[in-house]
Each structure stands twice: as structure tokens, then as C-alpha cells.
Structure 1
Amino acid sequence: MNETNSYGRPWKAFEEQLELLTARGMSVSDDAWAAAWLQRAGYYRLSAYWYPFRVFRMEQDATTKALRSVRTDEFMPGTAFSDAVDLYLFDRKLRVLLADALERIEVSLRVEVAYRLGRIDTFAHLHEDSFHPSFRERRDGRSGMSVFAAWQQKHQGLVDRSKEDFVKHYRQKHGPDMPIWVAIEVWDFGAVSQLLAMMKVADQEAIATRYGIGDWKAFASWVRALSYLRNLVAHHSRVWNRNMVSEPKMPALQAPAWCAAFAGKPDLLAKPFVYLAIVRHMVDVICPGSQWRNRLADHLQTFPVQASQRKQSIAAMGVPNGWETWWLPERGQ
């Protein structure tokens, strides 16, 4: 017998989806064009970009009498289907730019972790004593195992699933265990981040210093945040105005000057722009002279103008006032 659930919304054809949107107050100037976009990107994915244009009403809780903001299905006057598409395209280009930068950061971190640990022990990633006792023995929230044991399982799974020729060649020639500088090439960003968090303090300090940060704890939070950002980008998830769940800390020591724009401001630390600032910092260290910061700043200047009465802007990304002065000081802003 098939189990039932409480979800009662029926399947709708693309034309029916458009009819629903227009009934809720969205303007659609070209039905064929809009239907093509629904077919290309999907109603659910695009809904994240028309969500900010929904009407919100204040309601009083019947029990607590507290006022709360409740989203309705209606759209603000003037909202056009193109508003959502333009935000989607802006976000897609943002993810492309981030993918380019995050690749450089991930590769650089792999080198730093493998170089630091490999100098001590060729197979450091397989030996508990290569890592800080307190860090490695913390409990994994999902499995209940130590984080080191849980990481070992993840490492083995990544190695076993790898289709890379170098993995097959190495294991055939040398056996199942690969040196850290070989094994690290099959790890994902999350695995690198988790291993870094277990390293001894002196090792974490050395790696943080390599990237110009004197606070190793803050730097570890940066790497966790970038791992989270990498997952969003890899899964084509909305970035531009998301409430982020892995908030980075601002360094207490040897902090870059731009960190002052975010320090002590939890509302900004929960938004994506501080992540972009961290990416900019890391790319500048890894690739001096890179034009990535210019490309990102130029993209922000293309933020779309909307027809809706409720205007969106890059402020929803958590952009601090005066960001241009430190993002692109060479432009004299």
C-alpha cells in the first residue's frame, strides 16, 4: 500500500503556472517568453527570486497577542515576471564568478594542508596523533563517533568512489593508502575544512598566517563559511540575498582593515557580502594582481532595476556603507 502525505498541491502545466502567477498580481508581458523560462529554470527555483516581491501583512497571534509578519501569495503592485528572471540572471553570474574564485582558494588550501602535515608524516591524515586531541575527539552530531573517525569514513568513501586515473594507478602500484598530498586531491572542500579544524594549533596558526590572518580560530570559521558557500554554488542555489547559516568570525588579531566594516554587526555577518569579502581577501593573497575583485565589483553595479513597487538592491546582500573605498581603493573611491 502506498503511503500518503499531506501535500495537496497538484501538478500544473507551464501555462497553468503562469495563470496562477497573474491571478496573484504578477505582470506577464510575454506569455511565451515567460513559459519558456518556467520550462528552462522551473517554477520552484524561480520562486526564490519573486519571493521578495510578495505582500507581507501583520497579524496578531491569537494566543500570545504578539504581532508577526505573514507572507501572502499576492505580489506587490507593479511586480513583473521579468523582475524575478533578472534577479535570477544576476545571481547566476554571481555564482559563476564565485566558482572561479573558490576553485583557486580550494586548490591553495589543499596545498597548504598537505604541505604542512606531509612534512611531519606522509600519512598524517590516517594517524590520530597528527591532530589536536581535543579537536579530533569531539563528537560528530550525526553518527556519535569522534569527528576524526567520522572524517576517516568520509575520506575512505571519497577515495573509493573516485574515478581518477591517478588513484587507480597509485593503489595498484603502491597499495591502498595514499600519501596526504595524493589523497587530498580526491577530497571535497568540506573534507579539507574538517581536517583543518582538527589540526594542532601551531599548524592552524601557520596556515592562517599564510593568508594574512593572525587569529587561527577566525580563519577556521572562514574556511567553514567558504565550504558552505562552495556547496551553495555547486548546487546552483540562490546566493545574493540568502540568510547564511555558517557565519564567519572577524579576526581579533592581525585583522585586515576591511574587517572593521563587519565586526560587531551580526546582521551583516549573516548575509552573503561578508563571504564575498573573504573570497576577495583570499584571492588577493593567492593570486596577487588578480582582477577578480574588479569583475565582482563591476557585476554588483549591474544589479537589475525592477518594475515592482518594492525595490530590491545590493543592500539585501549585507553590503556595508562605503564598501567601494576598501574593495577597490585603486579606483580612488
Structure 2
Amino acid sequence: MGNIATDTATQIALLQERGMTLDLPEAKITEHLLDIGYYRLGFYWYPFQKNSDHEFVEGTKFSDVIKLYYLDTDLRILLIKYTNRIEINFRTKVIYYVSNYYKESPTWFADPAIVNKEVIDFVDRNYNQQFIKNNKPIKEHHLNHINDKYAPAWKTLEFLTFGIVFNIYRNIRNQELKEQIANEFGVVSLDKFYNLFKVIIDIRNSCAHGDVLYDYRRPRGMAVIPSIPFNNRDRSSLDSCIRVISYFLGNISKNRQLDLKNSIKQLFGDYADNPALQSIISEKINYNYEDNI
């Protein structure tokens, strides 16, 4: 297709020429192309291609490409729901434990005696008039406290991104406080906690930005702790990431952990009778249909 835009009729003809079985009515195929887009759907028919000429494996169905797309979409919605639960819990714990430990410093996230200077510089650059204007409680705080440079931590940290809050946590000077929070999530080693918790942040961000998930792999293997049994010792696959999410979730709520397990089992189970999708779920995601996360 190169750099030249094409209409749906040309796109359909090209798919057929490359060997895809168009097992849906042309009007429905056109609807999908105009809804999802030819380029984005390319991420989902990629695993069905057999060579660099983009020819498809014999028997490749357009309907299976659409099913893979919706599997990915449903998985994204599911994971963002549960990573959001972990995010809120982590944010709350950081605010609660650190603010109560340093009661005399309500803006401890900008106190050089409490956090490293690099974080203070970052917060200072981003805590600007636009930030204040965009967040109503922060704006109201400064209207009522005109001499305050920052609103207190329990207000400010609610409006910082997950990644920024985690970075502030990492840069707290008090190691015991950080270990206390890590222990709440069932991890003793801070280095392992940093490694594993970054998985939560990255998956959450990937879901929020609409990234493709089924072939997600981490460039660096995840830390090993006895409580997380990685499938086939694979510490990079999406299945491994889901196991990390499940583990952290279980330290917050056993009921929500069970909800996640059952939801994943049901979602992947819906495709167990489809050989093409089942193969992708097993080989790309590394999910074991005979195992429970």
C-alpha cells in the first residue's frame, strides 16, 4: 500500500489477492474497515501472514482477524479496570504513610530532606499555572491559601500521573517507609518491587493509549518471587504481566483477584474452540488453558 491512500474497494481486493478468505458480506467488511481502519487491522492480521510479501496462510479468515481485534479490545478494557484498582491503592498508601510520618511537612514531595532533588525539580517544572487551572481542587486551594507554593500531598498527588507518583515514591529518602509500602503489596525487596510494579504502570499505560496487547512482550524479564509462578518460566509475555497484576491485586482484595482470574478464564475460554485464535492466545500471550493464573 506504501504511502498512497486507498479506498475500501481497493483494500478488499488486496486482501483477497493476498489469500485472505473474505467470509463476511462485503458491506460488513467495508463497515469494519471504516470503523477500525485498514492500517490498525494490519496489526491483527500480521500473525496470519506467511511471508514478507504479506501473503496469508491458507484458510485465514477475515472474521478471525476481527475476533482477534475484539479479543484485544476486551482484554485492554479488563486490564485497565484492575490496574486502575492497584493504582488508586498505591497512590493512597503513599499519601497516607508518608504524610502521616512527616506530619510537619504537608508538601513533603517538595521537601529536600524527604525526597531527592531531581523529583523536586520535576514537580517544580510541572506544578505551574496550567496545572493549577486544570485541577479544580488545586485551584481552590490556592485561592484560599494564596501564599502556598503547593497544595498538600493528599491533594497534589491525586492529580499527578501514576508514573510520576511512582517516581516520587522511588525517590523518598526513607528506605524503611518505602519498604513498608512495598511489604503491603507482598514484596520484601525494594529492587524487586520496583521491577514488578513497573509492569503495572506499563500495562496500564499501554491499555490507556490503545496499544496492541496480544503480542506484548517486555524487553527486560521480570523479577522472580516465589509467589508468582510464571508459565514456562517466561518472564516477558503478557501472561506473565497478568500474573503480576493478579498477585498485586490479591494483596489488595482476594475477591477482586478472583474476579480477574475468572474474567481472564472466561475471555480466553470464549476462543478455545477456534484453532486460529486459540493458537495465538497460547503462543503469543503464553496463556495455558490447563492452568489458572
The alignment's TM-score, normalised by the length of structure 1, stands at 0.77
TM-superposed CA distance for 1:245, in Å, is: 3.7
Q: Among 308, 313, 316, which residue is 2:284 paired with?
A: 316
Does the Cα contact within 8 Å between 2:68 and 2:277 map onto a contact in 1? Answer: no
In 2, the alpha carbon distance for the partners of 1:44 and 1:305 equals: 28
- Whether 1:106 aligns to 2:87 is yes
Q: How has the CA–CA distance of structure 1 residues 321 and 289 changed in structure 2, closer, same or farther, with 3 Å as cutoff?
A: closer
Query: What are the residue-to-residue correspondences of 1:154-193 with 2, within 5 Å?
Result: 154=126, 156=127, 160=131, 163-174=134-145, 175-193=148-166
The answer to whether the aligner puts 1:95 opposite 2:68 as a matched pair is no
Structure-1 residue corresponding to 2:16: 22
Match of 1:225 in 2: 199
Q: How far apart are residue 36 of structure 1 and its match?
A: 0.5
Who is 1:287 aligned against? Answer: 253
Are 2:107 and 1:123 aligned? Answer: yes
User: Greater strand percent: which structure?
Assistant: 1
| CA distance 1:43–1:152, shift in 2 (3 Å) | farther
Counterpart of 1:261? 230
Question: Contact conserved, 2:199 with 2:244, CA < 8 A, in 1?
Answer: no
**Secondary structure of the equivalent of 2:216?**
coil
Cα distance change on mapping 1:302 and 1:321 into 2, 3 Å:
closer
Matched, 1:153 2:125: yes
Task: Give the residue type in structure 2 aligned to 1:286.
Answer: I
* Counterpart code for 1:276: I
Q: Distance in 2 between matches of 1:310 and 1:286?
A: 31
Secondary structure in structure 1 of the residue aligned to 2:53: strand
**Partner residue in 1 for 2:236:** 270
Q: Aligned equivalents of 1:207 and 1:23: distance in 2?
A: 57
In 2, Cα distance between equivalents of 1:39 and 1:321: 34
The CA distance in 1 between the partners of 2:45 and 2:10, in whole Å, is: 17
CA distance in 1, matches of 2:162, 2:44: 27
Asked whether the equivalents of residues 241 and 272 of structure 1 are also in contact (C-alpha less than 8 Å), the reply is yes
Structure 1 equivalent of residue 7 of structure 2: 13
Structure 1 partner of 2:37: 42
Residues 310 and 300 (structure 1 numbering): CA distance in 2 closer, same or farther, change over 3 Å? closer
Residue identity over aligned pairs, in percent, reads 21
In structure 2, the CA distance between the partners of 1:304 and 1:44, relative to structure 1 (3 Å rule), is farther
| 1:196 CA displacement | 2.0
Residue 32 of structure 1, aligned match among 27, 49, 65? 27
- The farther-off stretch of 38-47 and 304-313 is 304-313
Uncovered stretches (5+) of structure 2, i.e. residues with no partner: none
**Contact residue 228 and residue 246 of structure 1 kept, 8 A:** no
What is the TM-score when the length of structure 2 is the normalising length?
A: 0.87
Q: Is contact 2:192-2:223 (8 Å) kept?
A: yes
Q: What is the aligned partner in structure 2 of residue 67 from structure 1?
A: none
Q: How far apart are 1:215 and its partner, in Å?
A: 1.8
Corresponding residue for residue 208 of structure 1: 182
Describe the shift of the 1:229–1:261 C-alpha distance in structure 2 as closer, same or farther (beyond 3 A): closer
Structure 1 residues 125-167: Cα deviation after superposition (integer angstroms, max 9, x where no partner): 1123213xxxx47xxxxxxxx465335434x269716633212
Taking structure 1 as reference, are residues 311 and 299 closer, same or farther at Cα in structure 2, changes over 3 Å only?
Answer: closer
Distance change in 2, residues 1:158/1:96 (3 Å)? farther
Corresponding residue SS for 1:184: helix
Q: Secondary structure at the match of 1:248?
A: coil
Q: 1:322: Cα distance to partner?
A: 5.4
Report the CA distance shift for 1:270/1:307 in structure 2 as closer, same or farther (over 3 A). Answer: closer
Q: Deviations over 1:82-138 (max 9, x none)?
A: 11110111111111111111111110011111112212131111123213xxxx47x
| Counterpart residue number, 1:235 | 209
Structure 2: distance between partners of 1:152 and 1:129: 16
Report the secondary structure of 1:47's partner residue.
helix
